[in-house]
Amino acid sequence: QDFVPLYQDFENFYNRNLYMRIRDSWNRPICSVPGAKMDMMERVSHDYNWTFTYTGKVIKDVINMGSYNYLGFAQNVGPCKEAAAKILSQYGVGVCSTRQEMGNLEKHEELERLVARFLGVESAMAYGMGSELKGVIFLAVKHNLSNIFLLPLLIQGCLILSDELNHASLVLGARLSGATIRIFKHNNMQNLEKLLKDAIVHGQPRTRRPWKKILILVEGVFSMEGSIVRLPEVIALKKKYKSYLYLDEAHSIGALGPGGRGVVEYFGLSPEDVDVMMGTFTKSFGASGGYIAGKKELIDYLRTYSHSAVYATSLSPPVVEQIITSMKCIMGEDGTTVG
């Protein structure tokens, strides 16, 4: 009584009466490398899946159809593993500092130069988490967790037009920014154009002043739906109404395009038409962290004012080497024909 309910009626019914019956099919702990096949720990329940007890046995060679190890780089054999092990012996596991203090290694700068060259942009910056980059962006155009710490760079008086199926990290980053948020129907260019027109004609609520900046927020491949953004049309609208474009390529970088350069390459477009490019290293590259890329002045601004750049611990050296090795493989610069 007098407390906010923990569950809505349907959620309570679903969790207790439907999901609980088949709960043992999810959240299975694994005990091997999450490759194409993996090993799982056997468990049993004696109270209808409320609790589990481990038997000590291992279920071998289970087919993995649930991870985003798209290109198979998350494995414990091959050139990536060997390169990471070599760097581990040279630099250790962690840096124990931020990039702006004692945590800026030559490997971090090598990675950022490689990412910029891979994407065909002026500059790039690596972060420890992909989701935090999305928070940074709103700061950047003022501009995972990338999305959460990037997007707050926007300020009051700015407008964000966000696809209704954007990832939760983009949604949270947008909310933290203080900017006004309006949602357009998924991949619906007519609805997006209507919102752009209304924003320009009516301006800000109450004051009717023009918006300081208008940012279109989309994903390359939408993680919740699997659909590909209609990027050529989005860019055309962005240019027509003089707005900015933030592209989250978490699931498309490395997986789309003839050279694995994401949805921009997939459509044969120029990276210069995208103001802010964000992606993660957790999917196609089998590592962790993410990047933000674009104009040099934008990246320099983020290096100075982004919370993640100032306060977050640097990427682990073995992880950095994993990304470099896998990216060079995709680019065909590893001396093999694998990429």
Active site residues per annotation: 223, 251, 283
Cα–Cα dist 251/280, whole Å: 8
Describe the strand order of the beta sheet including 180-184 as a list of residue ranges.
123-127, 290-294, 276-280, 244-248, 213-219, 158-163, 180-184
Tell me 74's DSSP state.
Answer: -
Helical residues (DSSP H) of the chain, grouped into ranges: 9-13, 79-91, 106-119, 134-140, 146-150, 168-177, 189-202, 231-240, 263-266, 296-305, 307-311, 317-331
Cα–Cα dist 19/156, whole Å: 42
Cα–Cα dist 173/161, whole Å: 13
Cα–Cα dist 215/295, whole Å: 16
Cα–Cα dist 336/183, whole Å: 45
Cα–Cα dist 320/333, whole Å: 17
Tell me 37's DSSP state.
Answer: E
Cα–Cα dist 214/170, whole Å: 16
- Specify the 3-state DSSP secondary structure of 149: helix
Spacing of C-alpha 58 from chain mean position: 33
Cα–Cα dist 259/270, whole Å: 14
Two tokens, residue 327: 């990216």
